[in-house]
Structure 1
Amino acid sequence: MDPVRICSELIRINSENPPGITSDVIEYLSNLLSSLGIATDTIENAPGHCNLITRRQGDPLLLCGHVDVVPALDEGWTHPPYSGFVDDTFVWGRGSTDMKGGCAAIIAAIGELIDTGHEPAVSLAFVCDEEVGGPHGIHHLLEKELILPSDCIIAEPTPAIAPCIGQKGLYRFSMTFNGTPGHSSLYPAIGTSAVMEALKFLGFLKSLHEREFPIDPAMAGIIDHSERVLETIFQIPNLRSVLTRIMYNPGIISGGEKANIVAQKCVLEVDLRLPFGCDAHELQREIQSLVPDVNIQPSSVWNPSLTPPDAGIVHRICNQIGRTYGITTEPIVQWAASDARELRKKGFDVVEYGPGDIRTLHAIDERVRHEDLRKAVEVYSGVILSYDEGHH
């Protein structure tokens, strides 16, 4: 099975989230696995929000991926985002890196092992809504115990030579500021502007980014290594703050009623990424106490999560990456979030490792190299075989 072809075909099946309808893309994967003789079940927790799991669960290794993608506008792309265009080097399109390329490599690895006479001791799960926090995907599968604690690889895009064993935390919320309206000609002498109150809060966010958090000595080496890897990928120096500080994005601000009225309402939507050593719930309390009269609606609150660097899955995947690329490698922690945290909470040892051009993540001209897809197949196959050897 060719991961390049599978990746291209997956991209052509639009599974933008929102709306997050994944029935077609799950049917495609189900047919592929069926052609390999693997029985699957489609789990639909809400109409059109479909997940796929292999009927046999509880193997020592679970391979996991998400099939939803973030939306893309046609504007600015070299090739249309849902064309799945294939040239000599890349597969182009939305989801090629995040993470239909990873899903394609999982299927291709399974296909390759079956072709060579192996029966892989591996369970699979493809979920529908990682991009919006996973209520109908990973949360549902875990709640119903449809997948069982084991070692796990999520095929999220990572550097080719470094698996990821930890993610920063997240606090995402919206807040509604209330002002006292009045005639614009009298402000700021009379009236309180909700827009200006929001602006004051933005100043606080900026100061949050300056705050330093203690790094656990056991994490220091991993953070140093992660920083070097990050700087190599983005070709930008001094990216340590991305890993060790609170990164903040006031993603949406909307407020005011008219230019000549002092603003009565202003809504701000904020995304904060929290480093190791920062507690999401303490931060939540601190922010609420700073603006006691502001209505804060959290949508996601979680702490950083980590798989121990000495876990078996970490050794296995590092060994296999080493074999495939002819190097020695060590794991990294990363700056974004994924379903890994939910699996870790339930007792899975999770690493992320998958193909992709990380610079094009959620961006225009998202793409993945053929070579990265094929090498990921090799890594997955080797890791699966390492369990087979231990299993029999």
Structure 2
Amino acid sequence: MDVARVCSDLVKIKSENPPGDTREAAEYIALLLDSMGIRSDITEGTPGHCNVISREQNRTLMLSGHIDVVPAMEEGWDIPPYAGVIDDTYVHGRGSTDMKGGCAAVLTAVERAISEFGEVPVSLAFVCDEEGGGRSGTRYLIEKQLIHPCDVLIAEPTPAFAPSVGQKGICRFEVEFTGTPGHSSLFPIVGDSAIMQAFSFMKLMDELHNRVYPQSEQLEQLIDHSISISDVGGGQNLAPIFRQIMYNPGLISGGERVNIVAQKCLLTMDMRLPWGCDCETILAEICRSVPKSAKVTPITRANASLTDPESFLVQSTCDAISSVYDVSSKPMVQWAASDARALRKAGFRAIEYGPGELSCLHGLNERVRIDQLRFVEEIYFRLIDTYRKRYGL
């Protein structure tokens, strides 16, 4: 199999989330696995939300990737997002970076390993719903005990020379503010606006954001390295992203009419929590700080997580990267969240490493370099060989 062709084939299979129907992509992968002699099962977390897992799951290493993608409109793209065009340098299209390129590299690396070594100490999981929080994907597989704790590499796009060993926590919640309606001509003397309550709530979020959480010496070193290799932020100081709470009031709706003091306002908040910041403690503080009439409803709660940088999984991955790229690879941590948090909570040692153009992640003209796909395939192949030599089956 050619990694660029497999990536292109996967891109051509539309698996946007929402709605999250991944059946066609799952069936394509199952056929490839069958051609390698790997027995697999397709499981549905909810109808149409399909995962593919190898039937033999008692292995020391699991390779995993998600096959759902964020939606794409054709407007603004130089090449239609689901054409899967391959040119001399790139595979183009939605999901090529996030993360059908990584899935393709897993499949071709496993095929190579089987051709060279026979049976290998690897289980596989290609999941749906990562872009929607994993309820029908990784979390479903964990809850149903269809996958079992082991070392796991998730083929998420990362910088070329650095596997990710940790992610910040995530706390999403809704706040419904309730005010006292009245005639707009009398406000603010008469009436209590739910919209203004939401506005005042933003001051609390600023206070939470301004707190700096000190990290251990090990985490400080990981953070400093992560900052040094990150190319986001347009030259901004990235240190607060790793050491402080970041927040985004992503959705807000409120009011009944322009001439009525607002009785209701609903705010949905996304917070990213640094290591040492406990989600439940922060939520309790928020509940104490909002007006008594307000209702706080948690949606997603997970503390920051970390896989030991000195573990065999991390060191073996760094060694493979170093040998392929002729660099000194060191692990990093990320500010975003992924399926890794659910896996770590369930007892897996999870890291992320995969191909991709991070600058176009979730954006227009998403693409992945073909040479990077081949480099990552080689890295996965060497990692499989390392586990084969150490653990066998």
SS of alignment partner, residue 383 of structure 1: helix
User: Which whole-Å CA distance do the structure 2 matches of 1:192 and 1:26 have between them?
Assistant: 52
1:377 lines up with 2:365 in the alignment: no
CA RMSD of aligned residues (A): 1.3
Question: In the TM superposition, what whole-angstrom CA distance separates every residue of 1:46-79 from its partner, at most 9, and x where no partner exists?
Answer: 2111111001111110001111111222222222
SS of alignment partner, residue 116 of structure 1: helix
Match runs of 1:1-392 below 5 Å: 1-230=1-230, 232=231, 236-291=235-290, 292-392=292-392
- 5+ residue gaps in structure 1? none
User: Which whole-Å CA distance do the structure 2 matches of 1:321 and 1:55 have between them?
Assistant: 29
| Residue identity matched to 2:61 | L
Kept in 2: contact 1:254–1:267 (CA 8 A): yes
SS of alignment partner, residue 107 of structure 2: helix
Corresponding pairs, count: 391
Kept in 2: contact 1:234–1:359 (CA 8 A): no
CA shift for structure 1 position 357 = 1.1
User: Which whole-Å CA distance do the structure 2 matches of 1:237 and 1:181 have between them?
Assistant: 43
User: Which whole-Å CA distance do the structure 2 matches of 1:97 and 1:360 have between them?
Assistant: 8
Question: In the TM superposition, what whole-angstrom CA distance separates every residue of 1:222-261 from its partner, at most 9, and x where no partner exists?
Answer: 111111111x456524111111111111111111111111
Indicate the larger mover: 271-280 or 204-213. Answer: 204-213
User: CA 1:235–1:369 in 2, change beyond 3 Å: closer, same or farther?
Assistant: farther
| Residue identity matched to 1:124 | L
Indicate the larger mover: 257-266 or 21-30. Answer: 257-266
User: Which whole-Å CA distance do the structure 2 matches of 1:234 and 1:96 have between them?
Assistant: 23
| Residue identity matched to 1:77 | W
Kept in 2: contact 1:108–1:377 (CA 8 A): yes
CA shift for structure 1 position 117 = 4.5
User: Which whole-Å CA distance do the structure 1 matches of 2:208 and 2:363 have between them?
Assistant: 27
- 5+ residue gaps in structure 2? none
| Residue identity matched to 2:333 | V
CA shift for structure 1 position 329 = 1.2
CA shift for structure 1 position 112 = 1.8
User: Which whole-Å CA distance do the structure 1 matches of 2:49 and 2:243 have between them?
Assistant: 36
User: Which whole-Å CA distance do the structure 2 matches of 1:47 and 1:110 have between them?
Assistant: 29
SS of alignment partner, residue 68 of structure 1: coil
